[in-house]
Homo-oligomer: A and B are copies of this chain.
Amino acid sequence: MGEYIIAIDIGGSKVLCGILDRSGKILMRSRELTCVTGDPQAVIDQTERMVGEMKLAMGLWEQDILGIGVGVPGPLDYQAGIVEESPNLKWLKYPVREELSKRLGAKLLLDKDTNVAALGEYYYGCNCQCRHLIYITVSTGIGGGIIADRHLLHGQNGGGGEIGHMVVAPEGSQCGCGRRGCLEAMASGLAVAREANALIARGAGQRILASVCPGQPVSAREVAQAARQGDEEALGLIDRIGRYLGMGIANLVNIFNPERVVLGGGMALGLQDLLLPVIQNEVMNNVFSLHRRSLEIGMTRLGEDIVLAGCAAMVLHSPVAEN
């Protein structure tokens, strides 16, 4: 039986591949910008090549591979292995599991990236035996993976965990999903950029504008930079974002009563010094005392590798992942 796990994290901006051992340690890592041409096959070609190169570099044969884990953007029809719609990848009802299995072999387990990340955090992130965990990724969009009573929550079609599309501001901004005021529309990286641009457009936000490299769009990074220099407008913007996140997380804590809520994703990781205290404060003030008891809210320590770690967990603990 093989000793190595191939892990693949396909996202709208990057493809991250890794080879891991049975302890979840990453032995090799390969990262490329996603080849988004409109033809899904280009991403499959790219992934197959990246995996082939890694296997070659490590001298691995088919029999050395224990299994392959893959994370892809949701919403994903989990049973069918079909990505319903990914605007970033330009995929629509794309049977990604079938297509990847043809290239990489049948020992392939695939799930939504945020679900895979939740498994990564559950098995490798926290060093604790918690039973109830909510993982939230905050980057361009907002997504989640939920472990309730040691089971990854898939729901009937694999659509469980779409926490970015909980409405937190009914009169708020239009979301890509069609609703108004979803958490994703109010508190994602896109929301920060939109709010910062709105400030600048009305002649404010000069400190934020000063942080932007010429020719580049404004993003959460520049807002954070201005905030760390004490800019009131930037601090105000991040405070609003943090309070929306806190409101959404408080809703989830009241619904799930978890032991841990863990944040990851580019924006959450990059702005954690500014965001986390606001979020923690907002949540702790807005849940029942029963739910606050031994609740921890923190950042993942797995960083960008959380989905790779989750791929290994998915392969090694497939009965949990399959539930």
Residues of A within 8 A of B (CB): 75, 77, 84, 130-132, 144, 146, 148-149, 151, 153-163, 165-170, 177-179, 247, 250-252, 254-259, 286, 288-291, 293-294, 323
Contacts and interface: CB of A to CB of B under 8 A. Distances in A.
> How many copies of this chain does the complex contain?
2
A257 B157 contact: yes
B170 A169 contact: yes
Interface secondary structure of A, over-half rule: loop
Contacts of A259: 156
B178 A289 contact: no
Given A149-B154, A158-B257, A288 B75 contact: yes
A168 B165 contact: no
B257 A165 contact: no
Contacts of A252: 255
Nearest to A144: B255
A166 B252 CA distance: 8
B165 A167 contact: no
Contact of A256 (B155, B178, B294): B155
Given A132-B155, A167-B168, A289 B84 contact: yes
A146 B259 CA distance: 18
Given A84-B290, A166-B255, A149 B153 contact: yes
